[in-house]
Chain A
Amino acid sequence: MPNLAPPRFPRWLLERRLPANVRGASIRGDLLEEMTARAARGSSRRARLWYWAQALAIAAHSLTPRRSHHHADSFRKASVMESLIVDLKFAARSLIKSKGFTATAVLTLALGIGASTAVFSVANAVLLRPLPYAEPDRLMWMSEVGRTGTPMSIAWPDLLDWRERATVFEALAAIQRGIVNLTGSGEPERLVSRNVTSRFLEVLGVQAAIGRMFTANEDRVGAPRVVLISDGLWRRRFNADPDVLGRVVILGDLPHEIIGVLPAGFRFNLVTDDDVIASLGQQATPGSGLPDRGNHNGLTAIGRLRPSVDEGSARRELDHIAAALRQAHPNTNADVHAHIEPLTQRLVGTVAPMIWVLFGAVAFLLLLAMVNVANLLVARGMSRRHELSVRAALGGGRWRLVRQLLVESSLLAVAGGAAGVAICVGLIQLFVATAPADIPRLHDVGMSTPAWIFAFAASSVSALILGVFPGIQSSAIRGPHALVRAGRGDTSSASANRVRRGLMVVEVALAIILLTGAGLMTRTMYALASVDPGFDPSNVLTLRYSLSGDQSTAALRQEFRGRVAIFGDDLLARVRALPGVERAALALSLPIEGSQWGSVFVVGGQPVPARADIPIAAFVPVSAEYFETMRMRLRAGRFFDESDTIASPKTVIVNDTFARRFWPEGTAIGKQLKQGWPEDPEPWREIVGVVNDVKLNGVETATPLQVYVPYPQESSPYTALVVRTSTPPAAIGTTLARAVHELNPNLPVFAVQTMDELMRGAVRQRRMTMVIFGGFASVALVLASVGLYGVVAQGVSERTREVGVRIALGATTAQVTRLFVGQGVATAVAGAAIGIGGALALAGVARDLLFEVAPTDPLTFVVAAATLTLVAAGACYIPARRASRVSPTIALRAE
């Protein structure tokens, strides 16, 4: 029968480990022959397994230092390698013997190393890794801002001027995020579109996987309509057809020719999958509002700096251009400034404070874990004094003993590191599964090479730090004298006790820092949760749709807007008739989610401020019943109703903030305002009502000036349907979508969510920070109290004799208990004091993550210190109680 080929790895191992002579060859031959015979008798799988096992055993045997070849040599000095192996074996045996100690130490280290490696992997994947673009350091992100830094987007004509005049950029491109409906063959789908100018991909240094990017010539009004599609859309809708170029898709009711497919995994902002890349220049029709310099339509820009240019000179040039535009166009640009920052900062900078604070926290946890294990080692050293003294007395050199202990602590660190990696992998999976989806590059988080290096470095540092303590332990060993003293309450034990107390103070201080951090996060979450959003989010479901139509001229735009209003009316009529629907309304912007339309305005009867000081308000078209649906409160006047139509007098409702700002005394009702610049031909609108403030941009930002406009008078194609239900709101989603599709089967429905979900979403990054911080703090508290317990328990057992004397002399149970609890608590209080000092010093770091809580919040600090002291007292009480029950006769006789 043909020979069974031996498994490759063990064969290779044997060839390496066995000598290349007849001895090695014959052994390999024997194994091969036996494996073949075994395979013939039974299963070849088992034969191969046998080969594996034998090869590993032989390799292991050839690793062990061979005994001396001649008898005369048997007393020669053991080589370093040999004695190290002996040390390792001995350390492993002695660690296995004291299972409780080893398990505690390894688990503690594993927690510290695992948690810190996990947070490091997140920081590395999200923050530290360069952007997936060519030379990302040269990429800049730009927008326009008000004088005081109020962010706004770039006006299209401003952008064209920037592009023409700026010399610092190799290439510059505008970006606008849009939503577009894909219709035609198959299910209608709402797509995320990134509308850009022609050099977008060139700026990033990315090339289309198939086809090409559009040219500058195609990037203007009237050019043939072209589009690039994402890899995902290509696979989803076109079955990854390589001949997709030239096919025509209907986007926003207009046919577009596909000219390219983006590379797989391309995500411009690292978070969202953009489905299509469309030309922004083609959309700058007169009716689109883009050519108006006063309109800031959500455009931003990215640019690639020339090789020799830095951020500072780019900023100077943009400032210069913006100043020139302010001069040339005082009507529109009076308060328009340029803003530039590195693209990396823009894309991942928002999550940086959270991740760095967590990283800091986990570093403290790692340190605390190391200190705790060091503490355990010192305790173990004390209880091993006798063993060590005996070995020293029998002639074990001091260096030999220290090395033995060093090997032991290294072994602990290695085991802790290995278990830590396992914990880390679990933590990473947990994090990726539960973290908010808006963390960039979330799915790139994993055990990468840098993470392995970090874990290795953390273990090595642990080994080093733990290795310091064998030195302290060995100071207890001073030749034969130690043997006599061992076991008594002598000076060496007192010095070790001092070390342990010192370590405990450090541990408690670290725990306090983590506890206060967790406390501040919890207070922040509580403050966020108790914010009154100004409406009732329970039982409200929202969804969005986006109508499209030709708006290229003012007349067409007028007609389209009329159709939008009629569609809205029809939809509301259908939805209100559905079972389970209490009220329904339409709105452009939703609370929490943010304003979709900011505009300057002029208030009637008040002096018009200087150009740059003309105020901006969030304008929100809402239908009748909107305020009732949201359960907002009317302060004065009336809500919108069916009397506010396209033909009726123009009306608005303003919020409290608005009314207070312009009419601090008296009423806003009956006053007038106009959306737009003073010279714009917009109509004057009468204020018919004042409503309470709602949180518009997230839960944290103060409510801006807000103006509600009747939906029929300012219908918007991008609209949210808001429904208050009498049944659980999530269940009604499909019914609502069906109602939309009855009116227009081609209209995609998206962003279906309850207002509660929206509220939760606004604080989820903070919630996650709080939960993680809380986890770290709990672990810290447990470690610190276990450590304290250990120190006090050791103290008790060493002072049994003293306690006996005290009791014999008349000390009461309470007095003895107080003695030990007092010492433990004193340690805890000293640590707490240092910890509070440290936490105050670090307070500023967490400022960005807090809300309505001062980083030095006294309540948090007091509660953290009190919690720790209480837990510490509890941990000390158990051994102290045992001490107080010591019977004096037994204590005095012991020895």
Chain B
Amino acid sequence: MASPSPLYLGEFEQLVLLAILRLGGDAHGVGIGRELEAQAGRVVSRGSLYTTLDRLEQKQLVRWKIAPGGEERGRLPRRVYALSARGLTSIRAAQRAFRRMSDGLDSLLNEPTS
């Protein structure tokens, strides 16, 4: 089966996709938000997070399945996200482009470790 063609990704979209990958099988809204805040070091508005997740879903880059929620969230269900094949292709393409662009710039991009 031919792999789907990659789509162009925005910076925040890439971060969200990477967060889902990092979380493995347990990528639901709360975890994605925390991962972004912890690793990317930025305050993430839940409004833009869910909008972005919805957009990624529309572009068929992610899909989700329902998992039951516990007492800690008032028994409301959670959605566990995973990358689709096209999502994986797209993030790979994006990251490849990134790495190519940053090749040979280590001395500039890496902070001095004095």
Contact = CB atoms under 8 A, between A and B. Distances in A.
Given A30-B29, A36-B72, A57 B77 contact: no
Contacts of B28: 26, 30
A46 to B, nearest CB: 13
Interface in A20-77: 22-23, 25-34, 36-37, 53-54, 57-61, 67, 69
Contact of B47 (A32, A57, A67): A57
B45 A57 contact: yes
Assign chain A's interface to a size class: 20 to 34
B76 interface: yes
A495 interface: no
A57 B44 CA distance: 11
Given A34-B33, A36-B72, A26 B48 contact: no
Contact of A3 (B50, B58, B66, B74): B74
B1 interface: no
Nearest to B64: A26
Contact of A26 (B45, B51, B55, B76): B76
Contact of A54 (B46, B54, B55): B46
Interface string B18-62: 000000000011100110000000000111101100110010000
Given A25-B77, A54-B45, A54-B46, A30 B72 contact: no
B45 A32 contact: no
B78 interface: yes
B58 A30 contact: no
A26 B45 CA distance: 16
A32 B73 CA distance: 6
A270 B48 CA distance: 58
Contact of B51 (A36, A59, A61): A61
Contacts of A29: 69, 73-74, 76-78
B76 A69 contact: no
A27 B32 CA distance: 12
Interface string B88-99: 000000000000
B72 to A, nearest CB: 5
Contacts of B79: 22-23, 26
B71 interface: yes
A57 B50 CA distance: 11
Contacts, number: 72
B48 A57 contact: yes
Interface residues of B, number: 24
B45 A34 contact: no
Contacts of A37: 30, 72
Contacts of B72: 3, 32-33, 36-37
A59 B58 CA distance: 20
Contacts of B74: 3, 28-29, 32
A30 B45 contact: no
Given A26-B79, A30-B78, A61 B73 contact: no
A329 B51 CA distance: 94
Contacts of B69: 26, 29, 33
B66 A54 contact: no
Nearest to A56: B47
Contacts of B30: 30, 33-34, 37
Nearest to B75: A29
B46 A26 contact: no
Contacts of B71: 3
A881 B30 CA distance: 68
A67 B46 CA distance: 18
A537 to B, nearest CB: 70
A548 to B, nearest CB: 75
Contacts of A53: 45
Contacts of A3: 71-72, 74
B48 A33 contact: no
A33 B76 CA distance: 10
Interface string A137-162: 00000000000000000000000000
Given A32-B76, A57-B46, A60-B47, A26 B58 contact: no
A833 B30 CA distance: 73
Contacts of B34: 34
Contacts of B50: 27, 58, 61
Contact of A69 (B29, B58, B73, B77): B58
B77 A26 contact: yes
B20 to A, nearest CB: 14
B47 A54 contact: yes
Contacts of A57: 45-48
Contact of B46 (A23, A31, A36, A69): A31
- Output the residue of A27, A29, A61 with the most chain B CB within 10 A: A29
Given A26-B28, A34-B33, 18 more contacts: A22-B77, A23-B54, A26-B78, A27-B29, A28-B76, A29-B74, A30-B28, A30-B29, A30-B78, A32-B76, A33-B69, A37-B30, A53-B45, A57-B47, A58-B47, A60-B47, A61-B48, A61-B50
Interface of B: 28-30, 33-34, 45-48, 50-51, 54-55, 58, 66, 69, 71-74, 76-79
